[in-house]
Structure 1
Amino acid sequence: MDTPETESTAPRVVILKTGSTYAGLRGQFGDFDEWFIRGLSPDLALVVVNVEAGESPGEPEDWDAIVITGSPAMVSDRAPWSEATATWIASAVRKEIPVLGVCYGHQLLAHALGGEAGYPPRGRETGTHSVELLPAAKTDPLFQSMPTRFKAHLTHRQSALQLPPGAVLLARNDFEPHQAFRVGTCAWGVQFHPEFNDAIMKAYLEVQAPDLEKENLDSAALIAGVEPAPEASSLLKRFSELVLQR
């Protein structure tokens, strides 16, 4: 577990690492936690805790904010480390500590708070696709100044099939009805990947290509369709600003 300088007055933000990317991508781009560190503000004191490996983040109130990464794991498998993390996340939300869950983190947040994560009927969503904000996003602290439609990088085989009670749906697209939601005042889940850049997205598709063809998806077209997604990536800076303002 990494630790920030003890004298730092910067907000302490824990990155809950819930898995690792493909080995070949790690050598080229680094791992999930490094992608988040690159996207979040350098004014935050960032600490990585590998919950999949059994590391403990301590108490939720030890942190000023929480970020939950993606994972190749499946929330519906209910691995012990994942279920323990879900319980911890639910406690953090009750204490109104800002949370941003991404992909697996989005699904785990939904599950932790009484929603459901699982396999969607249409299968896998992957590549660069459009995301549409819903009217509730116009007054949402994280999304309110984003464009109504923007490009985002996506790759997931599971989804948040049912949102938690009281959740506010913020974004959708033609494939996935629950692209983003908020619970309470400061806990967000996003299915898309603000930590990805277009090179990472293209590399994912190249690794996935054989499986995509078996699933009747056009891997060449998906690779050709990859483009920058700066608005989606801006979410990490936006979340950082919210934490710094608190």
Structure 2
Amino acid sequence: MPRLMIVKTGDSFADVVRDHGDFEDFFLTALAPMAEADDELTLTVHDARTEGVPPLPAAEDGVLITGSHAMVSEAEPWSEALKPWLVEARARGVAMLGVCYGHQLMAAAFGGESGYHPGGREVGTRRLRLTTAGRADPLLGTLPTAFPAQLTHSQSVLTAPPGAEVLADNGHDPFQALRYGPRQWSVQFHPEFSAEVMRAYLAHQHEVLAAQGEEPEALLAAVAPTPEAGGLLARFAEQLARTPTLA
């Protein structure tokens, strides 16, 4: 039975935690059906900020890296300590999916660059596009060529690591999804976010979005469920449970 470790890298806003749960809870909720069906998957949570670097998973296991309100470019010690761990896990063949902060951290660990996006924040339900590589990808290739996703970030992957495949982009960010190897992916968007959580994030960011020339009320009105993007987590877990190759 494969194990899927959720590596927690931050906490959500207090009101979001109160009303909807914390980052790891979003993933646990999305993956619960897989964990409960015929004991196909074991889920664990490891907080890298307080528990240190996790034990290295076995080659047949998987890792999910959550979002965070921290910034990869601030190079906090707990975050920097994860970089060589990620490199070793990739060399071992461990399946990985990084989300938002996890996306930026994986890219930085594998030789790319992450930092503040010159265009400012990207928040709300936005439309993304699969690249040619994305349409052929065993994980993201199940998505429509153009699909909506929930986004909230001020930092991005600025330079992709050598050899990484770009799987999705949009007008704001050319690196919305990357693949680093047969079993290693990361995405800037939040497949774990519900529309309600996205609205809560927009409420927190109203002033900063207005200051950068966005229309917060229009963004709020445009928030919608994103079941296609949300299905990415189940797809990752299903493949992990069925085969150790994911390809």
TM-score surpassing 0.5? yes
- The correspondence of residues 107-122 of structure 1 with structure 2, limited to 5 A, is 107-122=104-119
- Please tell me whether the aligned partners of residues 60 and 88 of structure 1 are also in contact (alpha carbons under 8 angstroms): no
Partner of 2:136: 139
Q: Quick one: distance in 2 between partners of 1:124 and 1:45?
A: 35
Partner of 2:217: 220
Partner of 1:209: 206
Partner of 2:94: 97
Q: Quick one: distance in 1 between partners of 2:211 and 2:141?
A: 39
Q: State the SS of the aligned residue for 1:144.
A: helix
Deviation, 1:29, is 0.4
Deviation, 1:63, is 6.7
Between 1:136-145 and 1:106-115, the stretch displaced more is 136-145
Out of 7, 10, 31, the position equivalent to 1:19 is 10
Q: State the SS of the aligned residue for 2:49.
A: coil
- Please tell me whether the aligned partners of residues 66 and 99 of structure 1 are also in contact (alpha carbons under 8 angstroms): yes
Out of 180, 184, 207, the position equivalent to 2:181 is 184
Out of 227, 233, 244, the position equivalent to 1:230 is 227
Is 1:171 aligned with 2:168? yes
Out of 70, 77, 83, the position equivalent to 2:67 is 70
Between 1:109-118 and 1:131-140, the stretch displaced more is 131-140
Q: State the SS of the aligned residue for 2:140.
A: coil
Gaps of 5+ in 2: none
Q: State the SS of the aligned residue for 1:154.
A: strand
The one-letter code matched in structure 2 to 1:210 is E
Deviation, 1:21, is 0.2
The one-letter code matched in structure 1 to 2:29 is R
Q: Taking every aligned residue pair, what percent have the same amino acid on both sides?
A: 46
Gaps of 5+ in 1: 1-9
* Cα deviation 1:166-211 (Å, max 9, x = unaligned): 0011000111110001011010010000000101001110111122
What TM-score comes out, normalization by structure 2 length? 0.93
The count of residues paired between Structure 1 and Structure 2 equals 237
Partner of 1:37: 28
- Please tell me whether the aligned partners of residues 75 and 117 of structure 1 are also in contact (alpha carbons under 8 angstroms): yes
- Structure 2 CA distance for partners of 1:62 and 1:49, relative to 1, 3 Å: farther
Deviation, 1:62, is 7.6
Partner of 2:151: 154
- Please tell me whether the aligned partners of residues 103 and 156 of structure 1 are also in contact (alpha carbons under 8 angstroms): yes
- Please tell me whether the aligned partners of residues 14 and 57 of structure 1 are also in contact (alpha carbons under 8 angstroms): no
Q: Quick one: distance in 1 between partners of 2:98 and 2:41?
A: 17
* Cα deviation 1:113-133 (Å, max 9, x = unaligned): 000000111010000000100
Deviation, 1:139, is 2.2
